[in-house]
Amino acid sequence: MILTVLLAFVAGFFAGNGLPYYVEGSTGRTTNPSPFGDGAVVNVVTGWGGLVIAGFAWYFADVPEHPWPGWIAAALGVLAVGLIHARLWRGDVWGRRRPWNVTS
């Protein structure tokens, strides 16, 4: 059951992280800073990679064997990455100046 909880948490974390990148990139917006560079294509690929990792983690988590702990861990993973993004999106964590976070 520990492996289920860990992998489900990872799945939720990467799904919650990958989805915003994928949506921003697929709509052509480039305002979501990626650690791999700027641009819609970079965001799509970053988001797709996160969703693929989430899918693999979910597959190997064996959630049907332990459904409650698995789903709760996945929900906590999504919540964790959401709280991290809420904290870090106050400024560009990669150190680049953006029009939306200029303080002067």
For range 17-22, the mean pLDDT: 92
Query: Mind spelling out the 3-state secondary structure of 34-52?
Result: ECCECCHHHHHHHHHHHHH
Residue 3 has pLDDT above 80, yes or no: yes
Residue 104 burial by Cβ neighbours in a 10 Å radius (0-12, 13-18, 19+):
exposed
Residue 94 has pLDDT above 90, yes or no: no
Question: What is the overall mean pLDDT for the chain?
Answer: 86
> Which pTM does this prediction carry?
0.80
pLDDT-derived band at 88 (thresholds 50, 70, 90) equals confident
Residue with the bigger pLDDT between 98 and 57: it is 57
pLDDT-derived band at 30 (thresholds 50, 70, 90) equals low
